[in-house]
Amino acid sequence: MKNRKFILIALLFSIGMILAACGGGSGNEEGGNGNSGNEEGGNASESSDFSAAMVTDVGGVDDKSFNQSAWEGLKAWGESHNMSKGEGFNYAQSNAKSDYLPNLNRLVKQNYNLIFGIGYKLHDAIDKVADQYPDTKFAIVDDVVEKPNVASITFKEHQGSFLVGVAAAMKTETNKVGFVGGTDSPLINKFEAGFEAGVKSVNPDIEVMIQYAESFAAADKGKQIASYMYSNDADVIYHASGATGNGVFAQAKDIKKNNPERSIWVIGVDRDQHEEGQIGDHNVTLTSMVKRVDVAVEDVANQAMEGEFPGGEVLAYGLEDGGVSVAKTNEEALTDEIVKEIESWKEKIINEDVKVPQTREEAEEYVNGL
């Protein structure tokens, strides 16, 4: 990964310029429900020598999190090559697990050269179509499919989660913080383990409440869990739960609306969720663990377009190459003292002075060693 550091830095800059001019993806304007997101595209090869598309997980392309970040990256890639939606790049939206295979097959038949599966839940579907269509290039985000025509895109989420854990520990006034996960899986356990390690590294006495919604698309469950945690004195909650996290933000804003003086915070995930925390003159988003799915998608699309597709490889994006980072948008809440502490731990992680745990077992061992 280090040999692509400068490429990624350039991509970060270019994506920022493009998104500032064009704005992010919107489910209402980019496609309807079900599988309609890709039906208007026609034959992709009609408008471009190289084309790319993606299949979302059930959170949808406008989930304000993981899928949306991937779509923003694909849009940035397409628009940088003078393409438009349906004419060079597109997406197919999944509302259920049963949509994965039909969506992938439809995009293959529309002659897209590269097709992304967004999320580990698409593992089995990608694994199957990769065998059926060996001449089509595929990429999966957040999992590994060991096929020569599949690039596996992974992230060091535990590293970024550690740093927002540091922020939570520095910010809490009650010494109680929370973690809300989507599904209880090895991937989301990386977020949990890193977060707990970061919190405990600052203050081992802070209590970390942990609960999973068992869904990435259940805002009502996210709101219910957040209500319980905030009612039990947690004042900072980190969510790694996709669209379920919308409910965490909703609960925090409800509390802030009813009691503006209460210190109540949410830590977003995958993309900078600062806008989700705005309520009047207040903003409840302390920070976000930004996972640059957009950068990874654009990077792999460019490699494939240039004839350097990393098929059969496992790519890992982390702190050292900008693949994960901590948002600093809320300058009022994320004080200079907190930022300084975050940067100090970041340097230790990059220099390998600190090995961030990735599992519950590793987190327990790490905390016991503090």
Strand arrangement, sheet containing 265-270: 207-212, 176-181, 236-240, 265-270, 285-291, 324-326
- Comparing 24-33, 81-90, 203-212, 315-324, which segment has the lowest mean pLDDT? 24-33
pLDDT in the model for residue 64: 79
Classify domain 157-290+335-368 at the CATH topology level. Answer: Rossmann fold (3.40.50)
Over 295-354, what HEC string results?
HHHHHHHHHHHCCCCCCCCEEEECHHHCCEEECCCCCCCCCHHHHHHHHHHHHHHHCCCC
User: Shortest CA distance to 51 belongs to which of 32, 69, 78, 79?
Assistant: 78
Identical fold, 2-155+292-321 and 157-290+335-368: yes
pLDDT in the model for residue 2: 43
> What is the tens place of the pLDDT at every residue in 47-70?
458 999 999 998 888 887 889 999
Give the side-chain half-sphere CA count within 13 A for 174: 19
pLDDT in the model for residue 238: 98
Is there a contact between 121 and 129 (Cβ–Cβ < 8 Å)?
Answer: no
pLDDT in the model for residue 140: 98
More confident position, 23 or 356 = 356
pLDDT in the model for residue 65: 81
Distance CA 102, CA 94 (A): 9
CB atoms within 10 A of CB 264: 23
pLDDT in the model for residue 67: 93
pLDDT in the model for residue 63: 83
Binning pLDDT at 50, 70 and 90, where does residue 26 land?
very low
Residue with tokens 């993806």: 25
pLDDT for 235 beyond 70: yes
pLDDT in the model for residue 60: 84
Distance CA 354, CA 346 (A): 9
For the chain, the structural domain boundaries read 2-155+292-321, 157-290+335-368
> What is the tens place of the pLDDT at every residue in 320-333?
989 999 999 999 99
pLDDT in the model for residue 187: 93
pLDDT in the model for residue 41: 43
Options 3.40.50.2300, 3.40.50.300, 3.40.50.11260, 3.90.199.10; CATH of 2-155+292-321: 3.40.50.2300
pLDDT in the model for residue 38: 42
What's the whole-number average pLDDT of the chain? 89
